[in-house]
Amino acid sequence: MTYAIQAEGLVKRFGETRALAGVSLTADAGTVMGVLGPNGAGKTTMTRILATLIEPTEGTARVGGFDVCKQAHQVRQLIGLTGQYAGVDEMLTGTENLVLIGRLLGLSRRSAKARAKDLLERFQLTEAAERAAKTYSGGMRRRLDLAASLVGDPKILFLDEPTTGLDPRSRNGLWDIVRGLTRDGVTVLLTTQYLEEADQLADDIIVIDRGQAIAHGTSDQLKAQVGGQVLEVAPIHEADADTIARVVGDLADAVPEVRGGLVSTPIPDPAIMPAVVRRLDEAGVVVGELSLRKSSLDEVFFALTGHHTDDIDAEAGELAQAADKEGASA
Amino acid sequence: MTTATLTPQPLTKRVSPAIAARNTATLAWRNLVQIKHNPMELLDLSIQPIMFVLLFSYVFGPAMKGSVEAYLPVVIPGIIAQNALFAGMSTGFGLNTDITKGVFDRFRSLPIARSAPLIGRIIADTVKQAWSMIILLAVGFAIGFRIETNVLALLVAFVLLLAFAVLFSWTSVYIAMKVNEPEKVQIFGFVVIFPLSFLSTAFIPTTKGIPGWLAWLMDNSPVTQLVEAMRGLLVGGPVLEHALIALAWGVGISIVFAPLSLRAFKARA
């Protein structure tokens, strides 16, 4: 069968840097493919290749059955793209932005206007329709951007970090829109730094880091892949945390994470619990808290990439702040 | 579903010339309709030329040629040429804005002619150039400048100026591809175009008395050639040689900068 999106061994070099180091993926029609990874992982590069904006250095990709390099024009007739930075003309009104795209896609002036009106209504932008896009809030801009990518009724939609920098309410609104689109049969490739977003929307998730796919599956499969359970131990005396980390790490054959006197370790098998207790007793550590729980996607991410999503969230927070400042000064 | 849903059409394999022309016209419209929401841009296109004409004519005129009237045939064609160089920077400025804001990516993800975003912008900028030239001639006329030639020469002057401006604007396109914010295109305009336009005969009748090497530089500047050709076309004097040299410069500049721009664009994408 043909996939809506099919990429094989995508490599992209920019001079010395290798943004993508051989990523493959497939997405069935009508599903949401989540591409999860930190900043600089190669998500945007991959999206740009699939959306025909750049050509891969190596590898091939087909979108809607067409080769993204050799049949780019056909691919462009099937796709919609919403980039990381809202690609709307700030000088034009909401209506003009959408009419512009409609006209470029070959609609008559009248149909382009009708289409713009429908989309603005659907994205709750009717009131702002005749205002220049530069007066829009971040959330409104993203909605207008998404509307612009839907003017041509795309079969396949690329959303590159559509919610980065958005407040929770706008984010939920955007999620609903994406769900609605998949119900209409649209295939979505969504990149995100947020595990929750991938968890909420994606049928299938590929985790990429430093240009490489390091895991692939549904969110449940990913959770299971890294053990699925986490042992948390907190000593009475915080100084004992290192000892605990050594003991548990040894038994679980994993790298524990120490944070504020709490040692968390992904474990493959709960059966090691008695051994953990015995060894800690022998080492003379008094344990204040000991618990076993299912691992969160955050831990999955950490186990796979070696860094936390918190680091990314902090970065994203700064970016959002910077964007706010920019918005305020504009 | 919505009322204006597109009916699925068979996919085309390439953009036909007719569609390419339509895409280009649509994008030219887009660049001009922006003025409606940003009237400041129109002021920018009008006020700076007016200010220059008035300042140069009344401040430098008497010292330069004995009177304002006598200086006008010198300075009006000069300011027209200088203004064209500056206005050419707006092509790069707008292009860089589109690239950094992601608008360019959107266009490139659409099934439209690849050349349409750039050519559409150049056409819109040419319209703006023509507007500036009309303003300059009108203000000049108001304070006593008269076209001494004929309508045909005036038309040729328009064509020559717009052609040179388009060819020369490849420099600003190239800068636009190399820098990461639009303001840097403006800085380039200031540090390069400003001296370039002054190191010419745009504001002076002759380079006599200027140190030899500098006079040589000024006499051979493409701006001087353009200015002299414009003078010939508007108030009389030799035209052909100057016009051809100016155009040759323009062609040379675009032969160098067009491929460089293309390469820089591919490298940054």
Q: Which of B50, B79, B74 is nearest to B62 (CA)?
A: B74
Residue predicted with more confidence, B175 or A305? B175
The answer as to whether B132 is a domain residue is yes
The answer as to whether B61 is a domain residue is yes
pLDDT (average), residues A99-118? 96
Prediction pTM value: 0.80
Range of weakest confidence among A121-125, A259-263, B70-74 = A259-263
Range of weakest confidence among A220-224, B6-10, B32-36, B127-131 = B6-10
pLDDT at A322 over 60: no
Longest dimension (CA), chain A: 81
pLDDT of residue A320: 44
A258 by DSSP, 3-state: which? strand
Cα B94 from Cα B35, distance rounded (Å):
12
pLDDT of residue A330: 33
Distance from CA of A309 to the nearest CA of B (A): 26
The answer as to whether B53 is a domain residue is yes
pLDDT at A315 over 50: no
Structure confidence by residue, pLDDT tens digits, A31-42: 999 999 888 889
pLDDT of residue A228: 64
**Highest mean pLDDT out of A2-6, A125-129, A305-309:** A125-129
Neighbours of A121 (CB within 10 A): 13
pLDDT at A209 over 70: yes
pLDDT of residue B180: 85
The strands making up A287-294's β-sheet, listed across from edge to edge, are A257-259, A262-267, A229-235, A287-294
CB B54 within 8 A of CB B79: no
The answer as to whether B13 is a domain residue is no
The size of the A-B interface in CB pairs under 8 A is: 106
Cα A148 from Cα A178, distance rounded (Å):
14
Cα A235 from Cα A18, distance rounded (Å):
44
Q: Where does the pLDDT of residue A319 fall: very low under 50, low under 70, confident under 90, or very high at 90 and above?
A: very low
Structure confidence by residue, pLDDT tens digits, A144-187: 999 999 999 999 999 999 888 788 888 888 899 999 999 999 99
Structure confidence by residue, pLDDT tens digits, A14-35: 888 889 999 999 999 999 999 9
Contacts of A145 (CB under 8 A, 6+ apart): A82, A83, A86, A87, A88
B5 Cβ under 8 Å from any chain A Cβ: yes
pLDDT of residue B4: 42
Nearest to B15 among A73, A84, A119 (CB): A73
pLDDT of residue A295: 66
- Which domains are delineated in chain A? 5-223 (3.40.50.300), 229-294 (3.30.70)
Q: Where does the pLDDT of residue B44 fall: very low under 50, low under 70, confident under 90, or very high at 90 and above?
A: confident
The answer as to whether B54 is a domain residue is yes
B220 Cβ under 8 Å from any chain A Cβ: no
Among B30, B34, B109, the strongest candidate for a mutation testing the A interface, having the largest count of A CBs within 10 A, is B109
Q: How many domains does chain B have?
A: 1
* B220 backbone dihedrals φ, ψ, rounded to 5°: -100, 5
- Print the domain residue range for B55: 18-268
pLDDT of residue B13: 87
Distance from CA of A111 to the nearest CA of B (A): 7
pLDDT of residue A318: 45
Degrees, nearest 5: CA angle A177-A163-A139: 75
Output the DSSP codes for A151-207: TT--SEEEEESTTTT--HHHHHHHHHHHHHHHHTT-EEEEEES-HHHHHHH-SEEEE
Beta strands of A50-134 (E only): which ranges? 58-63, 66-67, 79-82
pLDDT at A326 over 50: no
Cα B70 from Cα A297, distance rounded (Å):
80
Q: Where does the pLDDT of residue A298 fall: very low under 50, low under 70, confident under 90, or very high at 90 and above?
A: low
pLDDT (average), residues A53-69? 94
Contacts of B112 (CB under 8 A, 6+ apart): A104, B15, B19, B20, B23
Output the DSSP codes for B40-87: HHHHHHHHHHHHHHHHIIIIIHHHHHSSHHHHHHHHHHHHHHHHHHHH
Structure tokens at A71: 């049949």
Neighbours of A132 (CB within 10 A): 19
Nearest to A77 among B100, B107, B111 (CB): B111
pLDDT (average), residues A105-116? 96
Q: Where does the pLDDT of residue A327 fall: very low under 50, low under 70, confident under 90, or very high at 90 and above?
A: very low
Range of weakest confidence among A320-329, B74-83, B141-150 = A320-329
CB–CB of A105 and B4 under 8 A?
A: no
The answer as to whether B201 is a domain residue is yes
% of chain B with per-residue pLDDT over 70: 96
Structure confidence by residue, pLDDT tens digits, B137-172: 999 999 999 999 999 999 999 999 999 999 999 999
